[in-house]
Amino acid sequence: MRTLAVLLISLTIPLTVFSAVIKPENPSFNEVADPGAGLDTVAVGLEFTEGPVWIAGSGEDEPGYLLFSDIPADIIYRWSAAGGLSVWRSPSGKSNGLLLDAQGRLLACEHGNRRVSLVLSPDSAVTLCGSYNGGKLNSPNDVALGADGSLWFTDPPYGLEGREQEQPAQYVFRMPAGGGEPVVVASNFERPNGIVFSPDKQTLYISDSARRIVRGFDVLADSLKERKPLAEISPGGPDGMCVDEAGRVYVTAGDGVQVFAPGGKLLGRILTPNQPTNCCFGGPEGKTLFITARPDVYAVKLKVRGLP
């Protein structure tokens, strides 16, 4: 755990603008990113950032803000252009992935508490799912929202930290919108990680980090049918992901964010100073890509809008 002095330095350090390295791999990437786009630093000097989610505002007086996790620090941070960076929730259960549900409420995948929680306020959260078949979950990592309000989440062992693994595999689960016992929808992953739906909710993309591939699935009501992988990821392996309105998939990898067409063609890369872990769209127009990158958080303005 960092000292308070280090924390205060992290909260008050001036932001820096880097020249983002936009590397097209296909001419159509010019529709996504300006070659001279700047990479703003939202935060620096943290521990291991993850799970960004944008909370939309209601107008000029409430323009919106970003929440993201710092897993080992046990904190959820809040950032806005006007207010800067502040601690929003601590302890956070060592939260990882964050998401808004169909009612706009905040959900958190908590490594420390081995659960998916509904965060009622900065001081209160309740368990939505913490067990399966009589055993505790491993450490829920990331979560996606289905068309019917159901929650689909990955459960690798990254956050166990020496505690007993009670599940016989690293499952991908589906939990009904009303809560209750989850259902296993995939069991043949080595390290299930990032998870995101296509805009029409008919395709589910899941990172298999150990195999270094993004796997694609057709969504069949409450089950999945696997099809060919979206992409092999190099360098590194895939982590968190997001999509834009056209269905392009933004995958965090060893060199930055790699952007793929829905058919799997690599369109381009947004290279970052530190290895990213996750990303989301936000900002007043929904065209800012926020990137958590271990000690840092970056923001780059794109030409396209992400899903709300």
How is the chain split into domains, by residue range?
Answer: 4-301
Q: Which amino acid is at 270?
A: I
3-state secondary structure the chain: CCCHHHHHHHHHCCCCEEECEEEECCHHHHHCCCCCCEEEEEECCCCCEEEEEEEEEEECCEEEEEEEEECCCCEEEEEECCCEEEEEECCCCCEEEEEECCCCCEEEEECCCCEEEEEEECCEEEEEECEECCEECCCCCCEEECCCCCEEEECCCCCCCCCCCCCCCCCEEEECCCCCCCEEEECCCCCEEEEEECCCCCEEEEEECCCCEEEEEEEECCEEEECCCCEECCCCCCCCEEEECCCCEEEECCCEEEEECCCCCEEEEEECCCCCCEEEEECCCCCEEEEEEECEEEEEECCCCECC
What's residue 20's pLDDT? 60
What's residue 104's pLDDT? 94
User: In the block, which residue shows the tokens 């499952």?
Assistant: 171
Distance CA 179, CA 163 (A): 26
Tokens matching residue 9: 């330095």
> Does 4-301 carry CATH code 2.40.30.10?
no
What is the full per-residue pLDDT of the chain (308 aa) written as tens digits? 333 333 433 444 445 555 568 999 999 999 999 998 989 999 999 999 999 999 998 766 678 999 999 999 999 999 999 999 999 999 999 999 999 999 999 999 999 999 999 999 999 999 999 999 999 999 999 999 999 999 999 999 999 999 999 999 999 999 998 777 899 999 999 999 999 999 999 999 999 999 999 999 999 988 999 999 999 999 999 999 999 999 999 999 999 999 999 999 999 999 999 999 999 999 999 999 999 999 999 999 999 999 87
